[in-house]
Amino acid sequence: MAPQTLHPARRAALTLSFEFFPPKNEEMERQLLETAEALKVYAPEFVSVTYGAGGSTKARSIDTVRRLIAGHGLTNTAAHLTCVGAARAEVDSVIDSFMAAGVTRFVALRGDAPGGAGVAYQPHPEGYENAAALVGALARRGVRSISVSAYPEKHPESADVAADIDMLKRKVDNGATQALTQFFFDNDDFERYLERVRAAGITIPIIPGILPINNLNQVIKFAGLCGARVPQVLIDRLGPLEEAPEERFREATLIAAEQIVDLAQRGISSFHLYTMNRTPLISAVCDMVQFARVDAASPAA
């Protein structure tokens, strides 16, 4: 079974980006680099490396970005940057380190409160107060590719969707060039959100974040922490397959491919895939959608 086939012209217009999370040790770094190397065949527009909570993986994130750029030819690597728990001078020093490593793209985020979910965010007294201020700092340094976050189901700390979109507009006004969304599973939620964003006069690309489900229980838990929703229909499709890994893998591939194809049919052409530093499921999804490979002809339609 496969999702509805896209028209060749529509399929050819699709672009990808991949997100990796920061490695905590050498073995995890090896896995990340192997995944990045394997996914290069899809010629991503860019790849990004996230930043641990409170900058906890700062040194390893910077080293990983350097290795992706210099050792793996991924010169389009974007560095995530947060401002939580840090003075402006410290954040500026990190920006300098990334730019010295050849980084020209950034993903600017406020970051989670050091105390974790449920703890109120407090800006550092000498720091950038929020993501909009951080975007402004990057723009003043001449950075021309600044991605920011967007939330189709509302950021869990926002009072309402209107406040959420107002913050996105402030980021755009300060220099943001595109937004990457939190993962979601209901495309109607994304479409409604996009309509509200455009009605607010925000015209930058809003790129949907897609999370293929490697582990259903982990995704349900993670979704609860970040204000996302896992529809019951997906739980019903994957839940009974927990003890059948091959069938679960095929169904997870199909679910993510169906989501991408449906969004493409609604006019979306760029997609940001959260890889969880794993190759098999991401590659399977990309091949089912028939994203072009640079190492071989695309799979037959």
Q: What's the CATH code of the domain at 191?
A: 3.20.20.220
Inside any domain, residue 130 = yes
Do residues 4 and 261 touch, judged by C-beta distance below 8 A? yes
Catalytic one of 19, 153, 251, 258? 19
Inside any domain, residue 37 = yes
Q: Is 19 a catalytic residue?
A: yes
Q: What is the pLDDT of residue 12?
A: 87
Q: What is the pLDDT of residue 227?
A: 86
Instruction: Specify the DSSP element, H or E, that contains 251.
Output: helix 245-265
Strand partners, 16: 271
Return the closest-CA partner of residue 287 out of 206, 218, 212: 212
Inside any domain, residue 296 = no
Residues 6+ away with beta carbon under 8 Å from 203 = none
Inside any domain, residue 298 = no
Q: What is the pLDDT of residue 10?
A: 86
Do residues 16 and 44 touch, judged by C-beta distance below 8 A? yes
- Please report where in the chains the tokens 């019951």 appear, as a residue: 232
Q: In percent, how much of the chain has pLDDT > 90?
A: 72
Q: How confident is the model at residue 197 (pLDDT cuts 50, 70, 90)?
A: very high
Map residue 16 onto helix, strand or coil. Answer: strand
**Structural domain boundaries enclosing 210:** 8-289
For the chain, the distance separating the N- and C-terminal CA atoms, rounded to the nearest angstrom, is 13
Inside any domain, residue 300 = no
Q: How confident is the model at residue 298 (pLDDT cuts 50, 70, 90)?
A: very low
Tokens of 93: 């020093």
- Please report where in the chains the tokens 């599973």 appear, as a residue: 185
Residues 6+ away with beta carbon under 8 Å from 12 = 292
Q: What is the pLDDT of residue 124?
A: 75
Q: How many domains does the chain have?
A: 1
29 vs 168, residue with greater confidence:
168
Q: In percent, how much of the chain has pLDDT > 70?
A: 91
120 vs 79, residue with greater confidence:
79
Tokens of 148: 């920011």
Inside any domain, residue 261 = yes
Provide the residue type at 232 as one letter.
Answer: Q
How many residues would you count in the chain?
A: 301
Do residues 230 and 218 touch, judged by C-beta distance below 8 A? no
Q: How confident is the model at residue 171 (pLDDT cuts 50, 70, 90)?
A: very high
Inside any domain, residue 60 = yes
Distance of CA 45 to the CA centre of its chain: 13
Q: How confident is the model at residue 26 (pLDDT cuts 50, 70, 90)?
A: confident
Tokens of 125: 């007294």
296 vs 245, residue with greater confidence:
245
Inside any domain, residue 2 = no
- pTM above threshold 0.75: yes
Do residues 268 and 13 touch, judged by C-beta distance below 8 A? no
Q: What is the pLDDT of residue 139?
A: 97
